[in-house]
Amino acid sequence: MALDLAHKLKNNKAIAVISNTLATTYSDKGLHNKAIKVYKETIKRFLSLSDSVNAAGVKLNLASEYMDLAQFQTALEISLDALKMKLATSDSSNLAGFYGQIGVLFNSVGNKQKWIQYTITANNLAKKNEKYGDFYRRMDILNELGAYYLSEHDFETATKYYDTLHTQSIKNDYKSFLEVLLS
């Protein structure tokens, strides 16, 4: 209904924002192909509004759809393009999220060197300023760092990151992550 109203009002910004929400809803229901189609349309709409900030964010959402479909190379290409678009803007919010997602994707395609490079960049950004990555993003990054060092058999460093993750999860009552850690 909201999308119909936005179309009737010919409010392109509202159409784009509502479409992004619709695509996320499709994604949550496992309707990835529908989500992909709507995300692509939404990116075009934001770009037609000269809104690269939101277009970059939607591109990152689009890449997540391809991740869910195990199309990691496609997801990586889209994420790198989203980061490039994001860096060209003056908006640095969630910048750690962009780097973090790309790190995960490099791991998925077997490039451990780029995995740790992008994950460390994400971590440095997230530690520097909360606008670069919120609490949940920082927890994801700590988990990725722990996983990387565990894969390298550097158990001491992996334990350091997992301990920090555990401590911060308890401190912030982050129950869903604690359940994963304790299982």
pLDDT per residue over 141-167, tens digit each?
Answer: 999 999 999 999 999 999 999 999 889
Give the integer Cα–Cα distance in Å for 178 and 76.
Answer: 29
User: Up-side HSE of residue 1: CA atoms within 13 Å toward CB?
Assistant: 0
Mark residue 11 as left, alpha or beta (left: phi above 0; alpha: psi -120 to 50; beta: remaining): beta
Share of residues in the chain with pLDDT > 90 (%)? 74
Residues 21-39: what's their mean pLDDT? 95
Chain-centre distance for alpha carbon 110: 19
CA–CA separation, 25 and 164 (whole Å)? 33
Residues 63-115 pLDDT 10s: 999 999 999 999 999 999 999 999 999 888 899 999 999 999 999 999 999 99
Distance CA 48, CA 56 (A): 13
Rounded Cα distance between 11 and 152, Å, is 51
Which pTM was predicted? 0.87
Q: Determine which helix (DSSP H) or strand (DSSP E) holds 175, and give its type and residue range.
A: helix 175-182
